[in-house]
Amino acid sequence: MGAIPKSGDVGWARRSRSWTGDGSGRVRGVDPEVRARRPCWYWTFIRGYEVGRKLWKPVLGSLLALGLTVSGGGIASAGVGEAKVSGQDAALTKVRITFHTLDDDKDHDTCLDVNVTDNTGRQIGHLDQDFCPDQFPDGDVDGPFTLTLLAGATWESMRNGQVTVRVSPDGNDHWNLAFYTVLLFSDGDRRNANYTGQASHINREVHAEVV
């Protein structure tokens, strides 16, 4: 084992942790006499420390950036500095509707127009399908169908909103139906809008309030 290094040499060697990179394992800038006074295991340790520090520094930085953001006394999302919005400000992410035909079917030539509005009457979503020329026979369950979102909305703005189903029959069609609408939000919560009744050439529009 080599001689015990002097205290002055320790500080000097600590400031010189830089490798030649030529595969020799030598420390750049270290005097050969200082290197000779230290045991082989010492330089092996220093070499391993330097390699590990270079490898782990960016990894630790990334983990820190992806850490949980604590804001407002609660834990937000594990995103890159972006808090998860919840409660009244949670964003509407999806609207789905399912139709249940009761004891009087929808004729194949009766077209549908489905829309959802917020509590100010602003249109938020629309169902792109009109279901012509599809017949909905007695007892049939069709859906769920996903509406296309046309504007942003929140949990609070959809309170007392409305889902409207408008029929355009060719003739005197009467359709006894129930429909069930689910509104999904970014925090995992949901609202519903359900209706049971009749749509016909007389009563062309039926509505369900979002609760």
**Looking at residue 37, what is its pLDDT?**
64
Sequential DSSP letters for 131-163: -TT--B-TT-EEEEEEPEE-S--BTTTTTT-EE
Sequential DSSP letters for 97-124: EEEEE-SSPBPTT-EEEEEEE-TTS-EE
Cis peptide upstream of residue 32 (ω within 30 degrees of 0): no
Backbone dihedral angles phi then psi of residue 89, each to the nearest 5 degrees:
-95, 5
Q: What is the pLDDT of residues 103-113, one digit of tens each?
A: 999 999 999 99
Q: Among 6-15, 46-55, 134-143, whose mean pLDDT is lowest?
A: 6-15
Side-chain-facing half-sphere of 26: CA atoms under 13 Å:
12
Q: Which residue has the higher pLDDT, 51 or 97?
A: 97
Residue 44 burial (C-beta neighbours within 10 Å; 0-12, 13-18, 19+):
exposed
Which residues are within 8 A (CB) of 56 and not within 5 positions of it... i.e. 6 or more apart? none
**Looking at residue 82, what is its pLDDT?**
43
Domain limits, the chain: 7-70, 87-209
What's the mean pLDDT when you consider all of the chain? 78
What percent of the chain has a predicted confidence (pLDDT) above 70? 60
As a whole number of Å, the end-to-end CA separation of the chain is: 80
The CATH class, in words, for 87-209 is: mainly beta
Q: What is the pLDDT of residues 12-35, one digit of tens each?
A: 344 444 444 444 445 455 556 655
For residue 57, which amino acid is it? K
Q: What is the pLDDT of residues 112-163, one digit of tens each?
A: 999 999 999 999 999 999 999 999 999 999 999 999 999 999 999 999 999 9
Q: Which residue has the higher pLDDT, 189 or 66?
A: 189
DSSP 3-state of 58: helix
Q: Which residue has the higher pLDDT, 4 or 202?
A: 202
